[in-house]
Amino acid sequence: MLRSQLFSKTRREDPKDEVAKNAKLLIRAGFIHKELAGVYSYLPLGLRVIEKIKNIIREEMNALGGQEVQMTVLQNPALYEQTNRWSDDVVDNWFKTELKSGGKLGLGLTHEEEFVEMLLGHIGSYKDLPLYVYQIQKKFRNEARAKSGIMRGREFTMKDMYSFHVNDEDFKDFYDKVKGAYERIFERVGLGDKTYITFASGGIFSKYSHEYQTLSEVGEDTIYVSEEKKIAINQEVMDEETLSMLGLKREELVEKRAIETGNIFELGTKYSSALSLEFTDESGNKKTPLMGCYGMGVDRLMGAVTEVFADEKGLVWPREISPFKLSLICLAKVGTEAYKQAEEIYNKLTEMGVEVLFDERDISAGEKMAEADLFGFPYRAVVSEKTIGLNQIELKERQGAEVMMLSLADFYERMKN
């Protein structure tokens, strides 16, 4: 893409009404726009990150056999009354609205009830199980305060998967497979090293749930990490019982702040039973399926990546979720040999299918370099009178210090991978 065809502008100054680093930087870089506290629009660069994260999640959910659906934002109170989650006394962060024709509606803050009700017409027999259904959808939470940027929005995008099983063995087997898929997702979005599967409090059906906690000073959670075993314990269940179950000693754990970037838990028959979802087993008996629930926040992952990697120069994107692979900068004026070569390189990269943002504007070298750093794509390539004289191109990794001079052949080879 040509930089001149991208409408978003960058800013030098942080927005004054934001405290979170992710919101400050993403707004400065023109990735997002603030509509209201905790409510952000995604501009082209930000949307590219969001879509890449969604596609990674989608690929991994599909690989598990997950079937994608799209539930609704508007929610029927009748469903939540059956599980006692409609009253504001029980769930205090609903957004509610009213139908003109009468009656209240909720805005999706969760979707367990809606999924179970939808499946009433589609699950009948043990032959229909197991079943894994998911969506990537907006959710709404009426937070009293919204100071964490896109990490805890009032409107946000989440992947939520629900699994349905004939028995506990089948549930546990799938639950373990989901752990593998989650690990691959964290790896692919660049947070693998910093993310710990974390024992946290469960619900009525299990003492524990599992959270995925990404280490960061700005995290809202306190966890106790075993770096050796690559697991952690959330403060809320940090007791002798948990330690002994995991074969850990208090001394080997390090206290850390972390961002909850995913969670998976056992629901048992809580929702299936409340909404009368049943199947007939092999002997013809009616039974209630066991359920699991697997959540992951898309904007939150993007926010966590920003918090974890960004430096004093700006954003830093891991390869698989960067809006572009590289910024291509031309320091020469239109009409020069160097400019022509930069155009050729841009065309060649585009043909190769390499995602490149070509800054061909007539502005200062300093502005272009600073903007490339702020955008934070993995590579920055520079074409100038100097590089063309050497018949080379200048390449720098966003996170490296070294400026490399490469032949064009070497450069293309490198961009291919």
**Site map for a second copy, 90-129, x if CB under 8 A?**
--xx-xxxxxxx---x-x------x---xx-xxxx---x-
Strand partners, 393: 406
User: How many C-beta atoms lie closer than 10 Å to residue 17's C-beta?
Assistant: 10
Distances (CA, A) of 268 to 180, 212, 272, 363: 21, 21, 8, 61
CA 175 to chain CA mean position, Å: 20
Residues 6+ apart with CB under 8 A from 381: 326, 327, 328, 329, 345, 393, 394, 395, 396, 411
Q: Should residue 392 be labelled a site residue for a second copy when binding is judged by CB under 8 A?
A: no
Instruction: Give the closest residue to 232 by CA, choosing from 195, 196, 179.
Output: 196
Sole window of 70-78, 173-181, 187-195, 341-349 interacting with a second copy (rule: CB under 8 A): 70-78
Choose the binding region for a second copy from 136-144, 187-195, 245-253, 273-281 (rule: CB under 8 A).
136-144
Per CB under 8 A, does 70 bind a second copy? yes
37 to 56: interface string for a second copy, x by CB under 8 A:
--xxxxxx--x--x------
Describe the strand order of the beta sheet including 392-397 as a list of residue ranges.
356-359, 326-330, 379-383, 392-397, 403-407
Q: Which is nearer to a second copy, 58 or 229 (CB)?
A: 58
Among 17, 35, 173, 337, the residue binding a second copy under the rule CB under 8 A is 35
Q: Interface with a second copy includes 170 (CB under 8 A)?
A: no
- Please say whether the dihedral angle defined by the alpha carbons of residues 385, 390, 395 and 396, taken in this order, is positive or negative: negative
Please report how close the Cβ of residue 371 comes to a second copy at its closest, in angstroms: 14
Residues 49 and 297 sit within 8 Å (Cβ to Cβ): no
Q: What sections of 131-258 are H helices per DSSP?
A: 168-189, 240-246
Q: Which of 64, 71, 354, 404 binds a second copy (CB under 8 A)?
A: 71
Residue 237 in contact with residue 221, Cβ under 8 Å?
no
Is residue 72 close enough to count as binding a second copy by CB under 8 A?
yes
Q: Does 145 bind a second copy (CB under 8 A)?
A: yes
* Number of shown-chain residues binding a second copy (CB under 8 A): 58
Q: Should residue 36 be labelled a site residue for a second copy when binding is judged by CB under 8 A?
A: yes
Beta carbons of 378 and 325 less than 8 angstroms apart: yes
User: Smaller CB distance to a second copy: residue 33 or 414?
Assistant: 33
133 lies in the binding site for a second copy (CB under 8 A):
yes
Q: Which residues bind a second copy (CB under 8 A)?
A: 5-9, 11, 30, 33, 35-36, 39-44, 47, 50, 65, 67-76, 92-93, 95-101, 105, 107, 114, 118-119, 121-124, 128, 131, 133, 138, 140, 142-145, 154-155
